[in-house]
Amino acid sequence: MKLLIKNGRIVNPANNLEETFDILSENGIIKKIEKNITENSDVIINAKHKIVIPGLIDVHSHFRDPGETHKEDIISGCKAAETGGFTSIVCMANTNPVIDNEFVIKYIIDKAKKFSKVNIFPVASITKGMLGNELTEVGKLKKFGIVGISDDGKPVENASILRNSLLYSKMFNIPLFSHCERLDMTSGTVMNEGIMATSLGLIGAPNVSESAAIAADILIAESVNSKIHICHVSTKESVEIIRIAKKKGIKVTCETAPHYFSLTDEMVRGYNTNAKVNPPLRDHNDVLEIIKGLSDGTIDIIASDHAPHHEDDKNLPFCMAKCGIIGLETSLAIGMTFLVKKEKISLMELIKKMTLNPNKLINVDRGSIEVGKVSDITIFDEKEKWIVDAKKIKSKSKNSPFIGFELYGKVKYTIAAGEIIYKDD
Ligand code: DOR
Ligand code: ZN
Ligand code: ZN
């Protein structure tokens, strides 16, 4: 099986390449990257005036399978990924049952393989059942294909257990993803603290409930010389503390999600539960600092934090609605619209934060277009405008505050292991 992509502008951060070339894949592997390849092929894609990038990698998605498959299952989650240009997804452990044993891991990987070419990489929970007490058997589970550990959805509150888990993650060379939140400061809160919360009569969480947890986690990681990855950075102070830690040489990486560089808590006006998320949408100064962190390299990765919830969990009084925003189908376009188009970061930098840097974190030998590598490739039109339409969302859940937004950048093809798995018609 041969696939030829003609005349696309390749943007490949691994070698800083931004130039028009043809790409020939054979049996799922990239064979040639050259000008004017004329070889006979089974499939030819004309990518003229399109951008050709490594298949996107999302290091933070919640597929609700097993447990809440009415919100998302592995099949619909993969469909959403394909539509958004993602060829690799890290799925978080807060399923039911929790991903803390080989049976759940095997179930997820086998089901994903059966229904999609998207690579699904599970993380296991840090603590058994995500209960915060007993460490999950990381060493054993690594053999079954986990690429990280995380209790995401909540923090590991016990500092001693966190310290032990960091020692464990270092021993098995597997990244620990930390959801940083001081629950003693966020308990009872439903949005960001500030004028908007006051005017809506809702209880808000202060920025320090995130940044204080990040500072503590970083210091604990430093004390045992372990790496730590901070999930969904949303506040100004969080960016500042991570910037200082990196300068100091501490092995910290972090991600933010598209909604944290594009939206503020203004979005909650009218008690819009699709804008209810944890950490919450912050204010304008936070958004500015997140963008600064993206542009100066403090923030390494853009991850979707795709968190599907059913209408029944969103069409509720604000304080009762579930937290979460879907993101797989809009991440690239939000990055294009709010960062690249506004000249906050270059196209190369955006793609780096969605391909090369994610691969560096989870180490799955993807995220680059190179001869000899797996042919995971996304082709998109950087100029095409589209409107986010709930009816067209492939995810089973439609909980997006971006519905109705006009965005730039439309995925035209998603290719996994040399096979077209999504084509925009
Ligand atoms: O908004 C969120 N949704 N934040 C989390 O930490 C968990 C996630 C979910 O699983 O719904
Ligand atoms: Zn989280
Ligand atoms: Zn999450």
Residue of the CA atom closest to atom 3 of ligand 1: 324
**Nearest one of 370, 318, 362, 302 to 169, comparing CA atoms:** 362
CA distance 364 to 358: 9
Distance 324 CA to ligand 1 centre (A): 5
For the chain, give every domain's residue range: 2-51+374-388+407-423, 56-362
What architecture is the 56-362 domain classified under in CATH? Alpha-Beta Barrel (3.20)
Using the 8-state DSSP alphabet, how is residue 291 labeled?
H
Average pLDDT, the chain: 98
Question: Torsion angle, CA of 48/50/53/56, rounded to 10 degrees?
Answer: -140
Best residue among 323, 328, 400 to mutate for probing ligand 1's pocket (most ligand atoms within 8 Å of CB) is 323
CA 153 to ligand 2 centroid distance, Å: 4
Confidence of residue 425 (pLDDT cuts 50, 70, 90): confident
Cα 166 from chain centroid?
Answer: 22
pLDDT in tens, 263-289: 999 999 999 999 999 999 999 999 999
Helix (H), strand (E) at residue 367: none
Instruction: Answer whether 336's CB lies under 8 Å from 407's CB.
Output: yes
Tell me what pLDDT residue 177 has. Answer: 99
With a cut of 90, say whether residue 238 has pLDDT above it: yes
- What confidence category does residue 165 fall into, taking pLDDT thresholds of 50, 70 and 90? very high
Residue range 51-59: mean pLDDT, rounded:
99
Residue 305 annotated among the catalytic residues of the structure: yes
Does ligand 1 have an atom closer than 6 angstroms to the CB of 93?
no
Helices 347-354 and 284-296: angle between axes, nearest 10 degrees: 90
Pocket test for ligand 1, best of 152, 274, 314, 318 (most atoms within 8 A of CB): 152
> What separation in Å is there between the alpha carbon of 50 and the centre of ligand 2?
34
Chosen CATH of 2-51+374-388+407-423 out of 3.20.20.80, 2.30.40.10, 3.30.420.40, 2.40.110.10? 2.30.40.10
**Digit-coded pLDDT (tens) for 14-46:** 999 999 999 999 999 999 999 999 999 999 999
- pLDDT the model gives residue 128: 98
Looking at residue 414, its pLDDT comes to: 99
Ligand nearest to the CA of 60: 3
Nearest to 372 by CA among 31, 55, 25: 31
Q: Cα–Cα distance between 278 and 82 in angstroms, integer?
A: 25
If one residue of 62, 71, 232 were mutated to test the ligand 1 pocket, choosing by the most ligand atoms within 8 A of its CB, it would be: 62
Q: What is the mean pLDDT of residues 135-154?
A: 97
Per-residue burial over 274-307, b if 16 or more Cβ lie within 10 Å, else e, is bbbbbbbbbbeebbebbbbbbeeebbbbbbbbbb
Q: Is the pLDDT of residue 1 over 90?
A: yes
102-115 and 74-84 helices, crossing angle to 10°: 60
pLDDT at 366 exceeding the cut of 90: yes
Q: How many angstroms separate the alpha carbon of residue 325 from the centre of ligand 1?
A: 8
> Does 103 have pLDDT greater than 90?
yes
Residue of the nearest CA to atom 7 in ligand 1?
153
